[in-house]
Amino acid sequence: MDPAPKRMSTEARRRQLLAFGREHFAQHGFEAMPMDAIAEHAGVSKGLLYHYFGDQRGFYMETVRGVTDEVIATIEPPSDQAFEDAFRTMVTRFVQYVQTHRAIYRALVRGGLGSDTEVNALLDRVRVTSMERILERLGVGEPSSLSRIAIYGWVSLVENSCAEWTEADGVSPDELVELFTSAFQPILEVLN
């Protein structure tokens, strides 16, 4: 695939492998594919993957974490806006992220890494972070059980609607943002 220098610095090699992993998973999903084959496509030996990432799960984890961290950074709500505006900014940025990173996002939520408990925890971290940021901006200290369930549900709605969106045609980002915003109103009624 690449000229693939025979020997690279630890950091450079690591970045290269993670970049390849991201691209690979975006195209092929996280379906079971032997580490041998992945390594071959990446132009290195299987042993090298294990050397850098410990085990298969480790490679998946680091790749996924790269994406989830990116998402979390993207939807950081601006601190100089009132709630309604900050909320809309978060949602808008999220939708834009999905639009810009269609393939990898779909692989993330549809590619089926739910099987792995640890990897799934990374996905849940995005959801929980979103929840906490919203609750914090609303000044809700200790949300009730119902509040948590309601917000979690809304976040899931956003997540899965976006996943479907990546396979649909003719729906603009604005329409999605509008949908998510209006869907949040009944949730707001319930919070604490």
Partner DNA sequence: ACAAGCTATTGACGATTCGTCAACAAAAAA
Partner DNA sequence: TTTTTTGTTGACGAATCGTCAATAGCTTGT
Binding site for DNA (CB under 7 A): 5-10, 13, 32, 34-36, 44-48, 50-51, 54-57
**Contact window for a copy of itself (CB under 8 A) among 8-16, 43-51, 84-92, 110-118:** 110-118
Torsion of CA 58, 61, 66, 71, to 10 degrees: -170
Q: Which of 3, 139, 141, 170 binds a copy of itself (CB under 8 A)?
A: 170
* Partner that binds at residue 31, options a copy of itself, DNA, none, CB closer than 5 to 8 Å by kind: a copy of itself
Angle at the Cα of 70 from the Cα atoms of 64 and 72, rounded to 5 degrees: 105
* Size of the chain in residues: 192
Q: Which of 113, 133, 138, 143 binds a copy of itself (CB under 8 A)?
A: 113
Minimum CB distance to DNA smaller for 44 or for 107: 44
Q: Which residues of 85-107 are buried (b: 16+ CB within 10 A; e: fewer)?
A: ebbbbbbbbbbebbeebeebbbb
Query: Do 188 and 155 form a contact (C-beta atoms < 8 A)?
Result: no
CB atoms within 10 A of CB 8: 14
Which residues bind to a copy of itself, rule: CB under 8 A?
Answer: 30-32, 110, 112-117, 120, 145-146, 148-150, 152-154, 156-161, 164-165, 168-171, 175-176, 179, 182-183, 185-187, 189-190
